[in-house]
């Protein structure tokens, strides 16, 4: 009887110990358990855990990458801001409606990056870029433009722009471009690359092709051009074909539009 009582006492002690241990164990919240389960699933799938997806890549010491936006159109500023702040690693710390304000913001805030319109009142994007190099040399400058000129685009690259984008480009291109810029790379958008390549094609026009193009712009027919330049109508037709090939157009109307846009003929 005494032996049985001792076994009961030992069993009761073990129950008390187990219960005391359970009271000391941390209680996981539902969110913690979901996070733990998701992380385990990600490890199996070689995916990024939810906690990392939410926090995103951060800048120096986990601090968000600071951005200043400058554009004289409020809707453009708002749309650009929304797209940038959707990326959790970035934070818009200032906006400007003209070039002078942009210079002041960059000087005062020394942001990691600035997204500038090329054409603004007060000072152009190029002028802001040059001033930014003076007041905040570590700020990376990205230029966005809606009226590209290959000559200006080359000038921006030579001046040290870290990124060049067209306003007609995809939002995703700008967002990924900013990530690459803050990582130390120079980014030239697809539209900008195409514009510069087209300008190079313009430079390859021969003197005779340029003369034929000027005559086409004046409304002369092949026979009229032939008589004006002292060449055969067949030769004029060959020059017309070469012009369309080099300028990547397929009709006389688009040839003239492209020529006027690129400054090859007067509007």
- Alpha-carbon radius of gyration of the chain: 32
Q: 118 and 215: one domain?
A: no
Return the axis-axis angle of helices 233-247 and 207-217, rounded to nearest 10°. 90
Q: What is the mean pLDDT of the chain?
A: 80
pLDDT in the model for residue 146 = 87
Q: Supply the pTM of this predicted model.
A: 0.58
Instruction: Tell whether the model's pLDDT for residue 53 goes beyond 70.
Output: no
Residue 189: pLDDT band (50, 70, 90) is: very high
Q: 100 and 126: one domain?
A: yes
Q: 99 and 185: one domain?
A: yes
Instruction: Tell whether the model's pLDDT for residue 267 goes beyond 90.
Output: no
pLDDT in the model for residue 177 = 96
145 within a domain of the structure (yes/no): yes
Q: 188 and 69: one domain?
A: yes
Q: How far apart are the first and last CA of the chain?
A: 116
CA distances from 99 to 16, 107, 120 (A): 74, 12, 6
Residue 148: pLDDT band (50, 70, 90) is: confident
Which single residue is written with the structure tokens 């600035």?
A: 114
Maximum distance among all Cα pairs of the chain, rounded to whole angstroms: 132
Say which residue, 107 or 265, is predicted with more confidence: 107
What is the total count of domains within the chain?
2
Residue 3: pLDDT band (50, 70, 90) is: very low
Q: Is 88 left (phi over 0), alpha (psi -120 to 50) or beta?
A: alpha
pLDDT average, residue stretch 119-135:
95
pLDDT in the model for residue 171 = 93
Instruction: Tell whether the model's pLDDT for residue 101 goes beyond 60.
Output: yes
Domain that holds residue 238: 204-262
């Amino acid at each position: 009887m005494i032996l049985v009582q001792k076994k009961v006492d030992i069993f009761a002690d073990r129950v008390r110990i187990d219960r005391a241990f359970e009271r000391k164990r941390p209680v996981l919240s539902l969110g913690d358990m979901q996070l733990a389960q998701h992380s385990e699933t990600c490890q199996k799938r070689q995916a990024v855990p939810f906690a990392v997806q939410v926090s995103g890549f951060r800048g120096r010491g986990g601090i968000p990458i600071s951005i200043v936006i400058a554009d004289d159109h409020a809707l453009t500023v708002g749309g650009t801001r929304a797209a940038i702040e959707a990326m959790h690693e970035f934070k818009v710390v200032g906006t400007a409606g003209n070039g002078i304000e942009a210079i002041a913001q960059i000087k005062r805030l020394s942001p990691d990056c600035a997204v500038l319109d090329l054409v603004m009142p007060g000072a152009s994007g190029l002028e802001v870029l040059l001033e930014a190099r003076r007041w905040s040399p570590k700020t990376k400058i990205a230029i966005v433009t809606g009226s590209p000129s290959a000559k200006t685009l080359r000038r921006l690259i030579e001046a040290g722009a870290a990124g060049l984008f067209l306003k007609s480009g995809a939002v995703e291109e700008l967002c990924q471009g900013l990530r690459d810029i803050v990582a130390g790379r120079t980014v030239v958008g697809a539209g900008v690359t195409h514009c510069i390549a087209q300008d190079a094609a313009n430079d390859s026009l021969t003197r005779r092709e340029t003369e034929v193009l000027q005559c086409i712009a004046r409304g002369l027919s092949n026979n009229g051009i032939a008589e004006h330049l002292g060449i055969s109508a067949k030769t004029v037709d060959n020059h017309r074909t070469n012009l369309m090939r080099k300028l990547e157009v397929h009709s006389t109307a688009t040839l003239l539009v492209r020529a006027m846009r690129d400054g090859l003929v007067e509007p």
